[in-house]
Structure 1
Amino acid sequence: MSSSQLLLMVDDPQLNATYGGGQWGTASFLQWYGGSIVWPQFADSSTATLTGSLFLSFEGIAIAFGGNTPSVFADSQRLTVSIDGASSYNTSYNDPTPQSYVQWYQSPILPEGTHNITLTHMAGTALDYAVITAGQNTPLAGKTVIVDNEDPSIKFTGSWTRNTDRFHSGSPPDGYPFHNSTHQSTTPGDSFIFRFSGTSLNIYGILHWANLGTVAASYTLDGAATSLTYSVTTSSSNHQNNLNDQHNFLLYSNTSLTAGDHTLVVNVTKCVTQTFIFDYLTYQPSFSTLATMPNLTLPASTNGTSHTTTSTPVGAIVGGVIGGLALLFLLIGGFLWFRKKKAQDDQEESNQITAFAVPRSEQETLVAAKPASSTQISPPESSSSTAGSSVLLQSGPPRVVHKSSRSRGGETADGSTSGGGSITTEMREAHQNVAPPAYEEL
C-alpha cells in the first residue's frame, strides 16, 4: 500500500463542468495547458452586472484550480465557494499582482469519495486546469498523473538550480510555473532520473522565445535514447511575434508505452544562450488505484546510455583528506613510539647487567692478584676510560640490578636493588640508575 501523494491533472475540456451566469468563452493559446482556457467573458469588466459560476463533481480528497486571475476592479478578487452543499464561504485569489497565471484556489482535505463543488462570483476568472488529489482508492483509469519538479521521486544530478521567479509571457498575463518552481540548468551533463508505471509520458518546461540560441537534451526511456534540440532564430515565428517565456512548453512526449514499469533519464546536452527549464511531467498510470501503486526505487547507478555526469560531493573530498591525514599521523606516531620503545628496551638491558669498573689507579695495584676466575671485557665507552685498558670484575657472578616494579602501560621502573652485601671498598659502582624517559602522548 502506497502512502505517497498522487495528483491528477484535468484539462478544462475534460472537467465536464457546468458553467453559468452567462455565456462563457473559450480562448486558445499555446502557453496554456492543452492550448485553451474558459472564462466568463461577460463578467470581465468593472461595468459587468453579472458574474460567472461553475459546478462540477470529482472523485478524490481535494481539488485545486489554475489559470488567470481576474484583473483588478470592484470586488473582482473575491471568490465564493461551496462544497457538498455546505454553507458558502468567501476566499480570495491570493494574487498580489493581478492578472497572473497561477493556481488560484485550493480546497481543504475532504473525506475520500465523490464531491461536488460550486464556485460563484467569478468576475473574469479564467480556468485552465484542475488538479485533483487522489485518495487511496480513487479510480485512476483514464486519468493523468502530474509530478512536480520538486517531487522526491525525481532525482537530480549535477549543478541544477531551483528557481521560483515569475515568467514573462509577453501578451498573456505573466505568472508562475506549476507549484511555483522549476529546476534549471545551463550545464551539459546535468541530468535527472524518474521511474513510473504507466502507458504514456509528457515532460513540460519553459522556453525563452526572446533569446536567440539553442538548448538540447537526450531522453532515455528504458535504454532507448531520443535527442531533441530546441532552437530560437530570427526566423522563428514566436520570436518574431514577441512571445517571451512559453510556459507549459512540451519538451518530450511518448504516448505509446507498454503498460508496466519504466525508467526515464533526461540528460542536458547543449545550452547556448538558452536555459533548460524543467517544470513538471505527466503520465497515464497503469495501476488502478494509489493503494496498488508500485513502490519503484531508483537504481544505484544509470547505464552508459544516459551519459550522466556526477559531481563528487565536497563532504566526501574533505572526509577523504581528513582520513588520509589521520592515517599519516597514526603511522608517524607508531614509528616514534616503536623507536622510543626500542631505545628504552636497550637501556633496560644495559641496566640489568652492569659491570662494576675498578678505577684505573687501583687496577695497577690489583692486577697481579686478580683471581683465576676473573673475566675481562672491554668497558663501555666513556670519558673516564681508555681504549684497550682492562677492567677487573669481582670474583663470581656480577651483581645484578633488579627492577622492583614494571608497568606495561607507563613503562615505569625504580632503581632499587634486591639483596644485601657490598663489593670491596676499592671498587666504585660506575652505573647510576636513571628513570627511563617518559612517553609522549600520541
Structure 2
Amino acid sequence: MVDAVTVIVDDQALAAYSIQVPPLVGDPGGFYPQFTSCYKTSMFIPLGEITTSWNWALEFEGTSVALFGVTPPIQYNQTIRIADPSVDKTNATQPNSYRAYTYPVSSQGGQFFTSGVVHNDSQIRIGLSNADGVAIDYALVTAGNLTNLQGQTILVDDRSSEIFWDGNWTMVDNYSLPVQCTIPSPQAYKESKLLLNSTDSVNFIAQMQPHANSTHSSNTVGDSFTFHFAGTSILVSGVTPGPGLPSDWLLHMEFVLDLNSTTRVFSPTSDPIKPHDIYFESTDLSPGNHILVGRILSVAGSPLPAAQIDYATYRPSFVTVAEKPVFPAPEVSGSATATSSSSIPTPNPSSATPSPSPSHAKSRAGAIVGAVIGGCILVGCFFGILWLVRRNQRRIRNAPNPHTEPFTSTAPTIYSEQDGPSSQLGTLPHSKRPFSPLHAASLSVASNSNSALSQQQNNIAAEIREPQNSPVDARLRELQAQMDAIEVRVRDNAPPSYSGEA
C-alpha cells in the first residue's frame, strides 16, 4: 500500500483559493499575526464586516481537505458553520446550507476540521461561517490522480511509510504543548477593527499539538532516518528538542543530502518548547531524485534532549501522482525501529533502480577476483609449457645432423721423415695415414658403438619433434635426460688417438 499524497496550503496562500460567487465576496479579510508555534510563522485570523458574520468559500483540487489552526478560547462561540463537500445538502456557494459543527476542544492547536472524501478529484469546495476567534494555520488537501502538483508543496507525516527510521526511535502521540497566543477580542470582531491594542485583544494559552498529533523521538547516538523524494526543496520540522532557558542541554545532529553533509547544534533558547520547529531546510535543489539522511551525533545535558521529528515537506519535480517515483526501502539495522502502520512501498519499474546490497556486491567482487586469478594461472601455465617446448626445439636445431658422420675428426699431427723434427706440423687424409692392425680393430669397435648411439639419438630427436600422449612437460624432461646420457657415452667412446709409425 502506498501512502496518499497530501498538499499543504499555507494560510497566506488561502486567499488565492477563494470562490468569487455572489453573495460571497471572496475572503473575509483579516490579518496574519506572528505566532510562536505554527507553519511558516503566521496564522490567518479572518474578520467580517461590521454587525455581520463573515462567510468564506474555498475551492481546492483533490479528494478531501483538512483545516489546521487554533480553536477559539471559551470567550467565543464554540460552534462553526461549515459546508462539507461530502454532504449532499451543503453547498459552499450558498451560506444558508452550511451546517453547524462544534470544535473538538477550545484553545487547542492542531486539526479542527476534516471533510469527507469526494469521488471527483477535480474540484472540492468547503464553506466557513460564524467562526469568530479561530486562527487558521494551513489546509491539507489529499491529492487525486488528476491533481496538478506543479508549484505545490507536499507534506509527509512522520507516520508515513516513506520515512525509514533506523535505531531506537519511538513514536510519541496524543500529547500537546502549552503556547502563548493572542487574538482579537470579541468586541474587536463586532467593530471589525484590524489593529489591535491592549483592550481589543485576548491572551490565552493554547495546547499545541504536532502535525497529526505524533512525532518520532530518540536521544540515542547513531539513530537515523532516511527520506527519498523527487523535488526541488526539502524541509524537516519537529518539536523543540528540549525546554528553553534556564535549562542546560545540547543536541548535535548531521543531515546528509545527496552526500553533502550539514551539522546542526540545538541548545536552549528563550522560545518555549513547541511544534513546527525547523530541524533542516534546503531550497533550490536541482529537479530529480534526492536522498536525505538525518543522524544523531551527540546528546548532553539535564534534562537530556531528544530529536523529535514531526514531518517533512518538499516541492515535487513531478506533475501528477501517477508520475511520483516509488523508492525502495533502505537497509536498516536498528534493534527497535519504530514504523508506521502502513506497509513499505514496493518499487515499480519507473522508479530508480536500487543499488545492490553490500553483501551482494562483495560476493560479485570476490567472484570477479577469483576468475581473474584463475585466468592468470592458466595463461602462466600455457606460456611456461610453450617456453619449454621452444627451448628443446632450439636444442634439437643446434645438435649435429644425424644424417652426417658425427665423429669425423682431423688426424693428429706427425713428423715426416723427410722434413725432420724441425718441419711444420701437418695433416694427412685417412687414406694416407699409417696405422697398425690394433688401430684398425679399435676403430671398428668404436664405429659400431657410435652407429648404435647415433641411431638411438635420432630416435629420441624424432620423438621430441612428435610428442606422445604423455604429459608434455614430464616427457620433455625424460627425453632430455636420455640425450644427455647419450652425449656422455659418445664422449666415452671417442676414437682412440694414434701416432704415426716409422
TM-score range, shorter chain: 0.5 to 0.7
| Match for residue 269 of structure 1 among 297, 320, 341 | 297
Partner of 1:94, secondary structure, is coil
**Who is 2:458 aligned against?**
none
Distance 2:210 2:306 in 1: 15
Give matches, 1:301-320, under 5 Å: 310-311=334-335
Q: Which moved more, 1:182-191 or 1:113-122?
A: 113-122
The answer as to whether partners of 2:28 and 2:56 remain within 8 angstroms in 1 is: no
| Structure with greater Cα Rg | 2
The answer as to whether partners of 1:66 and 1:128 remain within 8 angstroms in 2 is: yes
Give matches, 1:284-303, under 5 Å: 284-300=315-331
Q: 1:186 to 1:23 in 2, by over 3 A?
A: same
Q: 1:126 to 1:224 in 2, by over 3 A?
A: same
The answer as to whether partners of 1:149 and 1:279 remain within 8 angstroms in 2 is: yes
What is the letter of the counterpart of residue 11 of structure 1? D
What is the letter of the counterpart of residue 171 of structure 2? R
Distance 1:62 1:157 in 2: 32
Deviation of 1:212 after TM superposition, in Å, equals: 2.8
Deviation of 1:139 after TM superposition, in Å, equals: 0.5
Is 1:13 the equivalent of 2:37? no
| Match for residue 219 of structure 1 among 224, 244, 255 | 255
Partner of 1:34, secondary structure, is helix
**Who is 1:52 aligned against?**
54
Q: 1:29 to 1:281 in 2, by over 3 A?
A: same
Partner of 2:298, secondary structure, is strand
**Who is 2:124 aligned against?**
115
**Who is 1:68 aligned against?**
70
Deviation of 1:150 after TM superposition, in Å, equals: 0.7
Distance 2:249 2:211 in 1: 25
**Who is 1:79 aligned against?**
81
Query: Structure 1 length normalisation: TM-score?
Result: 0.61
Is 1:158 the equivalent of 2:167? yes
Give matches, 1:29-44, under 5 Å: 29-40=35-46
Distance 1:20 1:122 in 2: 16
Deviation of 1:255 after TM superposition, in Å, equals: 0.6
The answer as to whether partners of 1:64 and 1:132 remain within 8 angstroms in 2 is: yes
| Match for residue 266 of structure 2 among 206, 210, 230 | 230
The answer as to whether partners of 2:219 and 2:299 remain within 8 angstroms in 1 is: yes
**Who is 2:215 aligned against?**
182
Distance 2:226 2:169 in 1: 13
> What is the aligned-residue identity percentage?
28
What is the letter of the counterpart of residue 261 of structure 1? N
Partner of 1:199, secondary structure, is coil
**Who is 2:234 aligned against?**
201
Q: How many residues align?
A: 291
Once the two structures are superposed, residues 268-307 of structure 1 have per-residue CA deviations (whole angstroms, 9 ceiling, x without a partner) of 1122232211100100111110011111112336xxxxxx
Once the two structures are superposed, residues 73-119 of structure 1 have per-residue CA deviations (whole angstroms, 9 ceiling, x without a partner) of 46423333253726432222222xx1011111111001211232211
Q: 1:192 to 1:36 in 2, by over 3 A?
A: same
The answer as to whether partners of 1:21 and 1:51 remain within 8 angstroms in 2 is: no
Return structure 1 stretches of 4+ with deviation > 6 angstroms.
19-22
Flag structure 1 segments of 5+ consecutive residues without an equivalent.
Answer: 302-308, 314-442
What is the letter of the counterpart of residue 224 of structure 2? S
What is the letter of the counterpart of residue 114 of structure 1? Q
| Match for residue 192 of structure 1 among 195, 219, 225 | 225
Query: Structure 2 length normalisation: TM-score?
Result: 0.54
Distance 2:179 2:263 in 1: 27
What is the letter of the counterpart of residue 274 of structure 1? P
| Match for residue 156 of structure 2 among 122, 147, 151 | 147
**Who is 2:314 aligned against?**
283
The answer as to whether partners of 2:64 and 2:115 remain within 8 angstroms in 1 is: yes
The answer as to whether partners of 1:192 and 1:266 remain within 8 angstroms in 2 is: yes
Flag structure 2 segments of 5+ consecutive residues without an equivalent.
Answer: 19-24, 182-204, 338-502
Distance 2:123 2:26 in 1: 22
Distance 1:23 1:57 in 2: 17
What is the letter of the counterpart of residue 100 of structure 1? Q
Is 1:99 the equivalent of 2:107? yes
Deviation of 1:41 after TM superposition, in Å, equals: 5.3
**Who is 1:249 aligned against?**
277
Deviation of 1:70 after TM superposition, in Å, equals: 0.9
The answer as to whether partners of 2:38 and 2:275 remain within 8 angstroms in 1 is: yes
Partner of 1:291, secondary structure, is helix
The answer as to whether partners of 1:214 and 1:230 remain within 8 angstroms in 2 is: yes
What is the letter of the counterpart of residue 116 of structure 1? R
Distance 2:280 2:223 in 1: 17
The answer as to whether partners of 1:40 and 1:51 remain within 8 angstroms in 2 is: no
What is the letter of the counterpart of residue 39 of structure 1? I
Give matches, 1:353-372, under 5 Å: none
